Homo-oligomer: A and B are copies of this chain.
Amino acid sequence: MNSRDTLATELNVLADFNPVVPQAYKDASVVMLGNLHPIVQSSVLNQMTTQPKLVVLDTMNFWMDCALPELLEVIKRVDVITINDEEARQLSGEYSLVKAAAKIHTMGPKYVVIKKGEHGALIFHNKDVFFAPALPLEEVFDPTGAGDTFAGGFSGYIAQSENISFENMKNAIIHGSNLASFCVEKFGTERMVNLNKEDVYARLQQFKSLTQFDIKL
C-alpha cells in the first residue's frame, strides 16, 4: 500500500466525515474537489449556491475499486479530472492514453489531466493535447503530496487568472508542475512552507528553457 492508499483507507474509515462549505466560499468560481470519497465530493458541490465556472476533481484507483457508481455520478458534474496514467487506464479500459482520455471525456469532464509522475502530465480537451514535463531533478526526496500540489497549483492559477480557456490551462498545468517540483525536494510540506515567489519564477524560467524551441515551419 502506498501513501495515497493509506490515506484513502483512513479517510474511508471516517465514514461520518461531512465537510461544511463556509458561507463565504459557496459562490466560489473555481472549486477543487480533493481526493476523498466521491459522496463527500458530491456533497461539497451540492452546497454551492451558484454554479462554479470550473470544477476540478482529483481521484484515485481506490475509489474506482470500492465506490465506482458514486464516482461516475460526481465525474459527470465536473469540468476537469486529474488522475494518473494507470488510473486513466483503469477508469477507461483503454491502454492508449489518447483513447483513455477520449473515453473519459464521454463520462463528463471536458478536460482530462493525466499525471505521469516523473514523466510529466498531459491535458486533453477534445482533439487538443498539451504536455508539461516534470523538471529533471538531481534527487527526489519524497513524492508524497506531489499530486495534490499539482492539482492545487493548477486550480489556483486558473482562479487567480480568472480565465478558463484551454490556452490558459496550459499555463496552469505548467504552474502546477512547477510547484510539484518543489514539493518532492523535501519531506512533507517543508519545502512548500519555505517557498517564495522568486523561487517559483526562477523555476518557471527553467520550464521555459526545458520546453521552448524555435523550429521554423
Which chain A residues have a beta carbon within 8 Å of chain B's beta carbons?
96-99, 116, 119-120, 122, 128-133, 136-140, 167, 170-171, 174-175, 201, 204-205, 208-215, 217
Contact = CB atoms under 8 A, between A and B. Distances in A.
A96 to B, nearest CB: 6
A114 B194 CA distance: 33
A116 B137 CA distance: 15
Contacts of A212: 211-212
Contacts of A210: 129-131
A98 B217 contact: no
A213 B96 CA distance: 25
B131 A174 contact: no
Contact of A171 (B96, B97, B211, B215): B215
- When all copies of this chain in the complex are counted, the total is 2
Contacts of A116: 119
- Interface class of chain A by DSSP: mixed
Contacts of A204: 215, 217
Contact of A209 (B130, B138, B215): B130
Contact of A215 (B97, B138, B174): B174
A169 to B, nearest CB: 10
A128 B167 CA distance: 27
B130 A99 contact: no
Contacts of A119: 116, 119-120
Given A131-B136, A171-B213, 17 more contacts: A97-B136, A98-B138, A99-B138, A116-B119, A119-B120, A120-B120, A129-B209, A170-B213, A170-B214, A171-B214, A201-B217, A204-B215, A205-B217, A208-B215, A208-B217, A211-B212, A211-B213
Contacts of A171: 213-215
A214 B167 CA distance: 8
A212 B137 CA distance: 21
B122 A129 contact: no
7 contacts: A96-B138, A129-B210, A130-B211, A131-B211, A171-B215, A208-B217, A212-B212
Contacts of A170: 213-214
